[in-house]
Amino acid sequence: MPFSPFRLGALELPNRLVMAPMTRSRAYVDGIPSTLTALYYAQRASAGLIVSEGVQPSAAGKGYMDTPGLHTDRQVAGWREVTDAVHAAGGRIFAQLMHVGRVGHPDNTGAIPVAPSAVRLQSQIFTPNGPQDPPTPVALTTEEAEATIGDFADAARRAIDAGFDGVELHGANGYLIHQFLSQNANLRQDRFGGSVENRIRFAVETARAVADAVGAHRVGIRISPATGSQDLVEEDAHEVYPALLAELADIGLVYLHHLAGGSAEFDGRVRALWPHALIVNDPAKADPSAASAHWLGQGADLVALGRSFLANPDLPVRLRLGAPLNEPDLSKAFGGDHTGYTDYPALALHPA
């Protein structure tokens, strides 16, 4: 079943294995992806779908060192080289739009991070000067929150201009959209805070704006309920996420990308709650074959794999053949040159 085709919006996927988004921190010049980035993604074009590393929709959305953007013409041109290479290799690729919110540091961006509320992240941020405590973020005003929704829509348009097949909104892992959903990072008293209905509003309005901009058939969203990512507290996840999914389903988003492991109860309900295409990413299942068999057997349509794709550019071929897998060198995951990036070997296949 992992190797059967699947129709996703206007795309015909040749298999059900999705390359999960993974930060690689190699956009060294003005957030512009390089020729090496194009090679990296093209090498992995046999995935049913590639979801790119997190791409900031605005300068304010950046948090980490050397991450790419989609808010300048030069960034669009850089991504066009990437998408052209992926398509030439027969692949399909979505851009993950990621605004980090409070998860940032001025040494990386030149500015104080913004967030739903002025609540500081307790974890440290890696910077050119080593790990540092992040500052207290600046709380977005209502008008600034609305403008940020517009930034996501603008970045989605740029993604399509850059040749991406669609976009994924990063509503997971403790970043801005996720912060709005939480109880402890969102202390707002306006229409974006307080009740469950208000706390899901930023995610819903962002999804609607992006769907209006590029078409709902080109828009997915990633969630990670109750995982505790980036210090977030979600004791009412059992109320928040069913309400959120109901709203997103009405918009008609093409897929939900669910990061499993935060709530076993929600993991068991997500298929019933979501009527459209479902991607599941389960970090607890390191064996990609076992993860695929489990979640496809539980009703998921697609399975997202991260580290396996990092180290195995030809992962679908290896899994189909039962071939050994390369092990990732995580010491080279972030930053650097081609090593640990484009130098993982593919299988040497010879015609019979």
The DSSP line for 79-133 is HHHHHHHHHHTT--EEEEE---TTS--HHHHSS--EESSS---SS-EEETTEEEP
Question: Is residue 175, in this structure, part of any structural domain at all?
Answer: yes
Q: What percent of the chain has pLDDT over 90?
A: 97
Which residues in 181-214 are b (16+ Cβ under 10 Å) and which e? bbeebbebeeebbeebebbbbbbbbbbbbbbebb
Question: Is residue 264, in this structure, part of any structural domain at all?
Answer: yes
* Residues with a known catalytic role: 175
Question: Is residue 341, in this structure, part of any structural domain at all?
Answer: no
Average pLDDT over residues 187-215: 98
Question: Is residue 243, in this structure, part of any structural domain at all?
Answer: yes
pLDDT of residue 352: 44
Question: Is residue 310, in this structure, part of any structural domain at all?
Answer: yes
Question: Is residue 102, in this structure, part of any structural domain at all?
Answer: yes
Range of the domain at 206: 6-332
For 147-172, write each residue's pLDDT tens digit: 999 999 999 999 999 999 999 999 99
Instruction: State the pLDDT confidence band at 290, using cuts at 50, 70 and 90.
Output: very high
Look at the chain and report how many structural domains it folds into.
1
φ, ψ of residue 182 to 5 degrees: the values are: -85, 165
CATH assignment of the domain containing 56 = 3.20.20.70
This prediction has a pTM of: 0.96
Question: Is residue 91, in this structure, part of any structural domain at all?
Answer: yes
Question: Is residue 1, in this structure, part of any structural domain at all?
Answer: no
Instruction: State the pLDDT confidence band at 1, using cuts at 50, 70 and 90.
Output: confident
Instruction: State the pLDDT confidence band at 286, using cuts at 50, 70 and 90.
Output: confident
pLDDT of residue 82: 98
Instruction: State the pLDDT confidence band at 348, using cuts at 50, 70 and 90.
Output: confident
- Does residue 351 carry a pLDDT above 70? no
pLDDT of residue 54: 98
- Does residue 205 carry a pLDDT above 90? yes
For 297-317, write each residue's pLDDT tens digit: 999 999 999 999 999 999 999
How far is the C-alpha of 71 from the C-alpha of 56, rounded, in Å?
A: 8
- Does residue 180 carry a pLDDT above 60? yes
Mean pLDDT of the chain: 96
pLDDT of residue 175: 98
CA distances, 178 to each of 3, 100, 172, 269 (Å): 32, 9, 5, 20
For 312-339, write each residue's pLDDT tens digit: 999 999 999 999 999 999 999 999 999 9
How far is the C-alpha of 305 from the C-alpha of 203, rounded, in Å?
A: 24
How far is the C-alpha of 60 from the C-alpha of 114, rounded, in Å?
A: 7
Four-residue CA torsion sign, 188, 194, 197, 200:
positive
Average pLDDT over residues 62-75: 97
For 3-57, write each residue's pLDDT tens digit: 999 999 999 999 999 999 999 999 999 999 999 999 999 999 999 999 999 999 9
pLDDT of residue 349: 63
DSSP labels, 2-55 = TTS-EEETTEEESSSEEE--------TBTTB--HHHHHHHHHTTTSSEEEEEEE
Which residues in 3-37 are b (16+ Cβ under 10 Å) and which e? eeebebbebebbbbbbbbbbbbbbbeeebbbbeeb
